[in-house]
């Protein structure tokens, strides 16, 4: 996988806490149509479900990373698989809270100590970031034939060559190269 993140240690900790099994023999999932609006199952849907946990964790906690596993071409979790994880950091507590939101809307949390903000520029994800449905619409015309889901999607501030120190979605699809999309939904290209 070529998606880069904030630091190798942070990436490993975040990925280790995701309920993923990323083996080479992992079968291609069969999506089950998700009922409800286009908002249901999206990254903003997950943030809305995670926000009470973030607020109770610390008043100054803000999201720094959004991680998605098993996200379908419409930018949403299916009705029966996938997870969004919202990673927030509190400067007053010097801790990271990760809220995992399952496809059914259930949540779980983990915390760990971290003295500095988990981003290249020390800033959280900008307010008004484009929802995953917008991001996946932007990348759709550029996907390889046979692509049906993203194995991993990461929104954070990092340093990709076409967008150094910008907040970018890095998306690893089941087929073809990784794709990069700016936080506002502007398609950047393959990685």
Q: Which residue has the tokens 């083996």?
A: 23
Q: Are 95 and 113 in contact (CB under 8 A)?
A: yes
| Predicted local distance difference test score (pLDDT) of residue 164 | 83
- Output the pTM of the full model: 0.83
Chain Cα centroid distance, residue 11: 12
Cα–Cα distances in angstroms (integers) from residue 76 to residues 44, 100, 132, 133, in the given order: 10, 15, 7, 7
Query: SS3 for 10-56, per residue?
Result: HHHHHHHHCCCCCCCCCCCCCCCCCCCCCCCCCHHHHHHHHHHHHHH
Structure token digits, residue 46: 């997950």
Angle at CA of residue 140, ends 138 and 144, nearest 5°: 140
The CA distance from 151 to 49, in Å, is: 22
The CA distance from 106 to 166, in Å, is: 31
Q: What phi and psi, each to the nearest 5 degrees, are found at residue 96?
A: -105, 135
Q: Report the Cα–Cα distance between both ends of the chain, in Å, rounded.
A: 10
191 residues of the chain, pLDDT tens digit each: 444 444 434 443 333 344 333 333 344 555 566 777 889 999 999 999 999 999 999 999 999 999 999 999 999 998 889 999 999 999 999 999 999 999 999 999 999 999 999 988 899 999 999 999 999 999 999 999 999 999 999 999 887 888 888 899 999 999 999 999 999 999 999 98
Q: What is the longest distance spanned by two Cα atoms in the chain? A: 47
DSSP secondary structure letter of residue 106: -
| Predicted local distance difference test score (pLDDT) of residue 40 | 93
Residues linked to residue 16 through DSSP beta bridges, in sequence order:
none
């Amino acid at each position: 996988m070529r998606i880069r993140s904030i630091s190798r240690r942070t990436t490993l900790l975040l990925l280790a806490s995701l309920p993923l099994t990323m083996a080479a023999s992992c079968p291609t999932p069969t999506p089950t149509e998700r009922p409800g609006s286009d908002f249901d199952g999206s990254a903003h849907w997950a943030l809305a479900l995670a926000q009470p946990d973030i607020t109770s964790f610390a008043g100054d906690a803000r999201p720094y990373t959004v991680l998605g596993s098993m996200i379908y071409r419409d930018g949403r979790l299916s009705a029966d698989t996938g997870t969004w994880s919202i990673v927030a950091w509190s400067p007053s507590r010097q801790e990271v809270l990760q809220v995992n939101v399952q496809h059914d809307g259930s949540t779980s949390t983990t915390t760990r100590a971290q003295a500095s903000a988990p981003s290249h520029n020390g800033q959280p994800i900008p307010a008004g970031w484009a929802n995953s449905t917008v991001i996946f619409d932007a990348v759709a015309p550029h996907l390889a034939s046979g692509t049906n889901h993203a194995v991993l999607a990461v929104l954070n501030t990092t340093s990709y060559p076409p967008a150094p120190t910008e907040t970018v979605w890095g998306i690893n699809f089941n087929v073809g190269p990784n794709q990069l999309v700016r936080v506002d939904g502007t398609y950047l290209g393959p990685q």
